Amino acid sequence: MGKASRYETLVKPFLQEIPKWYRDMTERQIAKKLGIAVSTWEQYKTQHEELRACLKGGREELIYELKDALRQKAKGFHYKETKRTIRDVDGKKTQLVEEYDRYSPPDVGAIHLLLKNLDENWHNDDAATMALKREQLELSKQKAEEW
């Protein structure tokens, strides 16, 4: 039996971990973590279906998490904030931990993005502005033709 390929020794053992890494790292960073060149990484992606499936699963998980975070930001949410301070109390350093309940209000940008992408009937474009943009485009085309 021959020597195991670099894919078998450097990549395959980490197929369970790669989708988790994909949440916080770029593919370039993953390749570096695995100890392979980016060009080799690209080659492995074309040669090995299991690696492509692994990356697709990681990408889908990341997209789901990002959509969820965007929805949460659009709706507003409550969260706990912890503040740690060290104070001198009677000549002795004491660590104080304070917890606060905070509220993040709905974000207009997140609301706009979600509506724009999820509701096909929602339009936030002003008709007058759109007419001016069309007119500007026509003038630009005429100038280009004359030149």
* DSSP notation for 91-122: TEEEEEEEEEEEEEPPPHHHHHHHHHHH-TT-
> How many angstroms separate the CA atoms of 6 and 40, rounded?
10
Helices 49-75 and 108-118: crossing angle in degrees, nearest 10, is 130
Hey, is 35 helix, strand or coil?
Answer: coil
Going residue by residue through the chain, which has 147 residues, state the pLDDT in tens, using 9 for 90 and above: 556 788 999 999 999 999 999 888 999 999 999 999 999 999 999 999 999 999 998 889 989 999 999 999 999 999 999 999 988 888 888 899 999 999 999 999 999 888 888 877 776 666 677 788 889 999 899 888 887
Of 107, 17, 102, 126, nearest in space to 69 by CA: 107
